[in-house]
Amino acid sequence: MACPRGRCFARLPSTWPTMNRLTHFRLCPISRYTRLAMSETGLEAQLVEEPAWEQRPQLLALNPAGELPVLELERGLVLCGPSAIGEYLAEEARARGHDIAPGLLPHDREDRAEARRLVDWCHRKLDREVTREMLIEKVYVRLSGRTEYVPDPDVLRAARANLRYHMSYLAYLAHQRRWLAGEDLSLADLAAAAHLSCLDYIGEVPWDDYPVARGWYARLKSRPSFRALLADRIPGLPPPLHYTDLDF
């Protein structure tokens, strides 16, 4: 592997340990972000689904914050939270000489800062203003057993208005750059795509109004790392027909 920008990294065995475990939920955006990063960097793990809203002792024992996902690595390391997991995977893959996704954390300091800014934007601002509200109203409450619950139209209306703001910003970034944080695919793209994939599953992304953002998402959606996400299903809640269409 060529040394980018004159920097060389020791080539270690490119295979990861196989006895890893990811505790996740299939329609949790940060869980999806982790699964995308794992796939892009070649890490395989047993997937253990956990209903985080139940706050079961098993989850609290792994992560006292009671939040998903939790990545347990074979040698005993337990990683919680998107920053710790995403950056660990990117750094470890680079150290192992992984050739598929060496740029999930860019080499340039300024580019790394921009990627981190956008990851934070997605997992905090986008999640707080859109993803979390929509998933609670349309998915999580129902799965918790309140099958008679009717989503609050005011909450959905506000979240949909907020989503248009975020879509406009993502479209702007996709128009200015090849990928969201620069010329190379990064953790920022995986973070945004993870949230949009959850929203797309429940039919809430107005793709027709944002063709540039749709083109960027289509490139991500066509990557092998997305296949497992597109195969996910919530019982009793099927996605729209375009969800698995690569040419949507």
Please give the distance of CA 134 from its chain centroid, rounded to a whole number. 16
**In this structure, are 138 and 76 located in the same domain?**
no
**pLDDT per residue as tens digits for the range 84-127:** 999 999 888 777 765 555 568 888 889 999 999 999 999 999 99
Query: Which residues lie closer than 8 Å to 112 by C-beta, 6 or more apart?
Result: 105, 106
Mean pLDDT of 140-157: 91
Mean pLDDT of 132-137: 97
Domain that holds residue 44: 21-95
How many other C-beta atoms are found inside a 10 Å radius of the C-beta of residue 176? 10
Compute the mean pLDDT over every residue in the chain, rounded to the nearest whole number.
89
E-strand stretches of the chain: 21-24, 46-49, 70-72, 78-80
How many distinct structural domains can be found in the chain? 2
pLDDT value of residue 146: 85
DSSP designation for 202:
T
**In this structure, are 152 and 214 located in the same domain?**
yes
Please give the distance of CA 163 from its chain centroid, rounded to a whole number. 17
How many other C-beta atoms are found inside a 10 Å radius of the C-beta of residue 185? 23
**In this structure, are 86 and 123 located in the same domain?**
no
pLDDT value of residue 5: 33
**pLDDT per residue as tens digits for the range 13-57:** 344 445 899 999 999 999 999 999 999 998 999 999 998 888 888
- Phi/psi for 77 (5° steps) reads -70, 135
Mean pLDDT of 139-159: 92
Query: Which residues lie closer than 8 Å to 35 by C-beta, 6 or more apart?
Result: 22, 24, 47, 225, 228, 229
Q: What is the CATH number of the domain that holds 26?
A: 3.40.30.10
pLDDT of 194 higher than 80: yes
pLDDT value of residue 98: 57
Please indicate, yes or no, if residue 218 is contained in any of the structural domains. Answer: yes
**In this structure, are 225 and 123 located in the same domain?**
yes
Please indicate, yes or no, if residue 104 is contained in any of the structural domains. Answer: no
Most confident of the following: 34-48, 73-87, 138-152, 157-171: 157-171
**In this structure, are 156 and 238 located in the same domain?**
yes
- Phi/psi for 147 (5° steps) reads -65, -20
The rounded distance, in Å, linking the Cα atoms of 220 and 226 is 7
How many other C-beta atoms are found inside a 10 Å radius of the C-beta of residue 37? 26
CA angle 165, 167, 171 (to 5 degrees): 120
- Tokens for 17, please give them: 């340990």
Please indicate, yes or no, if residue 240 is contained in any of the structural domains. Answer: yes
pLDDT of 4 higher than 80: no
Higher per-residue pLDDT: 153 or 144:
153
pLDDT of 66 higher than 50: yes
Please indicate, yes or no, if residue 79 is contained in any of the structural domains. Answer: yes
Say if CB 5 and CB 109 are below 8 A apart: no
**pLDDT per residue as tens digits for the range 161-183:** 999 999 999 999 999 999 999 99
Say if CB 190 and CB 37 are below 8 A apart: yes
pLDDT of 9 higher than 70: no
